[in-house]
Amino acid sequence: MTRVLLISGSTRSASTNTALLRTAAASAPDGIAASVYEGLATLPHFNPDDDHEPLPPAVAELRAAIAASDAVLFCTPEYAGTLPGSMKNLLDWTVGGTELSDKPVAWVNAAADARRGGGANGTLAVVLGYVQTRIVEDACRHVPVAREAIGPDGLVDDAATRAAIADVLTVLVQP
Ligand SMILES: Cc1cc2nc3c(=O)[nH]c(=O)nc-3n(C[C@H](O)[C@H](O)[C@H](O)COP(=O)(O)O)c2cc1C
């Protein structure tokens, strides 16, 4: 079983980005176990003074979740032309660890309009390059999610979207 960690950059309860990743977890192809990281809002503000053992518990959980995964898929909104602060905060907590090094990673852009989100994903690419991940370009795709497409179960209620995000997972974990 190949394990993929799914990290959303949105703290919003009805997030389209998180809904897409929950849909990925629910639609994962055979042989892939995908799980959504749920701790974004509980991470402390990054402080180099605290970046040592024993790490803050939420940070230790984040790093353990990354270490336990074979690949990581990100999906983040764009705020003010770049990453939301909470997402950058999460990434800053990864710099001091080696868990992301050489790890296959990709991102999906869930913006309804493909012309949006480039600032966030551009910054994400810079940071993921800085921490020496292996960016799987073919898995970095636009999978649009309209707010009204999210069903009462929190999943995207659309077969084409489920197929698209399942294909992203397949490509991400290809050797
Ligand atoms: C504070 C704030 C700033 C935003 N800035 C941008 C932006 O610069 N570019 C953009 O395309 N959308 C921007 N948006 C819109 C969000 O990216 C959009 O609503 C997104 O769908 C939110 O993702 P979510 O549904 O996962 O929470 C902004 C939204 C907020 C709340």
Could you give all domains of the chain from N- to C-terminal order, each with its CATH number? 2-172 (3.40.50.360)
Instruction: Name all residues whose Cβ lies below 6 A of ligand 1.
Output: 10, 12, 15-18, 77-81, 116-117
Closest Cα to atom 5 of ligand 1: 79
Mutate-to-test residue for ligand 1 from 15, 17, 36, 79, highest number of ligand atoms within 8 A of CB: 79
Q: Which residue type does 56 have?
A: P
Q: Whose CA is nearest to atom 2 of ligand 1?
A: 79
Among 15, 16, 78, 113, say which to mutate for ligand 1: greatest number of ligand atoms within 8 Å of CB.
Answer: 78
Q: How far apart are CA 71 and CA 88, in angstroms?
A: 19
Whole-prediction pTM: 0.98
Strand partners, 32: 2
Give, for all 175 residues of the chain, the pLDDT tens digit: 999 999 999 999 999 999 999 999 999 999 999 999 999 999 999 999 999 999 999 999 999 999 999 999 999 999 999 999 999 999 999 999 999 999 999 999 999 999 999 999 999 999 999 999 999 999 999 999 999 999 999 999 999 999 999 999 999 999 9
